[in-house]
Structure 1
Amino acid sequence: MLMTSIAALFPGPVVVEASTLLPDAELFADECAFVQAAVPKRRAEFASARVLARKALAALGAPLVSLVPAPDRSPVWPLGYTGSISHCSDYCAVVVARSRDIRSLGLDVEDKRELDPAMQDLVLTRAERQWLESQLPVLRPVLPILIFSAKEAYYKCQYPITGGFLDFQDVELAIEWASGTFEARVLKTGWPAAVARLSGRFVVDPDRVGCGVALMPD
C-alpha cells in the first residue's frame, strides 16, 4: 500500500512511513529489553514500527527518542506529537502528526482477505450484517475485513482520549463505498461525546485494506 494512499486517509497534516518488516532494525537498549522475550516475527514488527516512527517524527522536527510502549502496550509518543502504528503479515505502517494539528490518530492496515465466519460473528453487529447482505455480491467478500479494520482504526484513535476498552459489538459502522468513507458510532451508553461518533476514510488495493480515523483539536 502506497504511503500517499495512507496519508490521504487523514484530514490534517500527517507524515507516513511504511515498509516491509525490518528484522535487523536497530533499537534503543530499553526497547530491546521490552521485546527480548518475544517471538522473531513480533520482534521484527516492533523494531520496524520504532524505526519508521522515528523517521516520521524526525520529518516533523521531533527529537530522536526511545519509543517504549506504555504498560498497557499502547504507543507512547514524544510530547507534542501523536501517532498510530499498524502491521500485517510482512508490512508495517506508521502515521504521526503534531498534537496541535491532530489530537489523536488511528491507523489500521490489514491483508485483503475474507474474514472467517467465527470472526464475523464477533465483529459484525446485526445492522452491519443486514447492510452487508444488501451490497453487491462482488463487494461482499471484502466488506467484513473492511469493517474489522475500520473498527480497529476507530479504537486506536479513541483510546488515548478515553483509556477505555470497547468490544467490536460496542461500535457500529455506516460505510459509504463510493466515497471511501465511514462513520463509527459507539453503542455503549455514557461514552465521552468527543469520540462517541467519528468519521474515517478507507482504501482498498489489490493486497491490503487500510483505514484511518482522526480526532481534530477542539
Structure 2
Amino acid sequence: MVLPVEPEFRDDSSSVQLVAAVRQLVGHGLVVEGGDLTPADRDLLLEEELSLGNVVPARRREFRAGRFYARQALQGLGAGGSVVPIGDNRAPVWPTAIVGSISHTRNLCVVAVGSSTEFLGVGIDIEEDSPLSCELARLVSDAAELEGREEIERGLGCDLPKLLFVIKEAFYKMYFPLTGRFLAFHDVRIELDVEKHAAKARIVPSKRLAAIDSRCFEGRFGSSDGTLFSCFELSAR
C-alpha cells in the first residue's frame, strides 16, 4: 500500500495528546503506548537488529522507536523484555499469546497490544491529516465511499480519502495476520458513521476473492492535533 508524503515535525505535546486519544478509542483490555521518535537512539535487541537488516537511517529510527514503545506496552501484559523482530511478511512477530500493531508517521509512533485470550487480532494506523492527491484518492477509495464527501468533510474537518486510507490500513493490519491474505484498497469497502466516529469494513466480492470472509468488521477512528488514527480489533469471545 502506498503511503503519502507527510508534513514536518510538530511539538512534543502532539504525541501526548495522540496517545491519550487512542487509549480512549481502543477496546478495553488493549494496552497503548507511544510518543515521538526520541527513543530512536536506543539500541535494539540483537534478534530485532538482525531482522531489520540494512535499511536507511529514517527507517531504522522509526523501527527503534516502535520497538521501544512496543516493550513499554508489553510491560503492561507482563512481557516487557520480549523480542519483537520482523517476520517474513515484514510485520512484527509478537510474543506467544500476544497480538499487536505498530504505526508511525515521520515523527510519532503508537503501539497497541493485547492478550490473544481477549483478542484474535488488532490493527492500528496513524497518519498526518494532509489531503491525498487526486491520483492517490482514486487508488484508495471508490465512488460509493465518497458519496456525501463535502458534508462528511465539513463535519469531520479532514480529507475523506485520507481518512479512508487510515481506516483501511488499520483494518488490513488486523486482517492480514489472521488470514495471510493480501488486500488492495478496493478489496475493502468502508461505511462510516460520522456521529459515532465508527467504521464498518467489508471485503468486496470478486473473482479473486470469491470465497473470502463475508463478515462485517467494526472499527473506530478519530483525530488529534493534526493526526488521523483508526483502530480495529477482533474479540476472541
Please report how far the alpha carbon of residue 2 of structure 1 lies from its aligned counterpart in structure 2 after TM superposition.
2.9
Q: CA separation in 2, counterparts of 1:63 and 1:148?
A: 31
Equivalent AA in structure 2 for residue 192 of structure 1: D
Q: Tell me if 1:16 matches 2:32.
A: yes
Deviation at 1:30, TM superposition (A): 2.2
Gaps of 5+ in 2: 1-16
Could you say which residue in structure 1 is the equivalent of 2:75? Answer: 58
Q: Is 2:227 the partner of 1:208?
A: yes
Match for 1:117 among 134, 158, 169?
134
Query: CA separation in 2, counterparts of 1:168 and 1:131?
Result: 20
Q: Does 1:176 align with 2:190?
A: no
Q: Is the 8 A contact 1:12 1:101 kept in 2?
A: no
Which residue in the other structure is 1:3 paired with? 19
Amino acid at match of 1:213: F
Aligned residue pair count: 216
Give the superposition deviation at 1:147: 0.6
Distance 1:137 1:59, change over 3 A: closer
Counterpart Cα distance in 1 of 2:141 and 2:153: 18
Does the CA contact (< 8 Å) of 2:52 and 2:85 recur in 1? Answer: no
User: Is the Cα–Cα contact under 8 Å of residues 26 and 51 in structure 1 kept in the other structure?
Assistant: no
Contact 2:129 2:158 in 1 (8 A): no
Correspondence 1:191 to 2:212? yes
Which residue type is aligned with residue 153 of structure 1? Answer: A
CA distance in 1, matches of 2:153, 2:75: 44
Classify 1:168/1:136 alpha carbon distance in 2 versus 1 (closer, same or farther; 3 Å). closer
**1:55: how far off?**
1.1
- Structure-2 change in CA distance of 1:127 and 1:28 (3 Å): same
**Gap change, CA 1:138 and 1:104, over 3 Å in 2:** closer
SS in 2 for 1:126: coil
How much does 1:75 deviate?
Answer: 1.2
User: What are the superposed Cα offsets for residues 165-200 of structure 1, whole Å, 9 maximum, x if unpaired?
Assistant: 11100111111111111101110332134xx32011
2:61 corresponds to: 44
Q: Give the structure-1-normalised TM-score.
A: 0.92
Q: 8 Å contact 2:18–2:224 — kept in the other structure? A: no
SS of structure 2 residue aligned to 1:103: strand
Q: For residue 20 of structure 1, what is the amino acid of its counterpart?
A: D
Question: 1:152 maps to which residue?
Answer: 169
- Are 1:98 and 2:115 counterparts? yes
Contact 1:9 1:212 in 2 (8 A): yes
TM-score (norm 2): 0.85
Give 4+ residue runs of structure 1 displaced > 6 Å after superposition. Answer: none
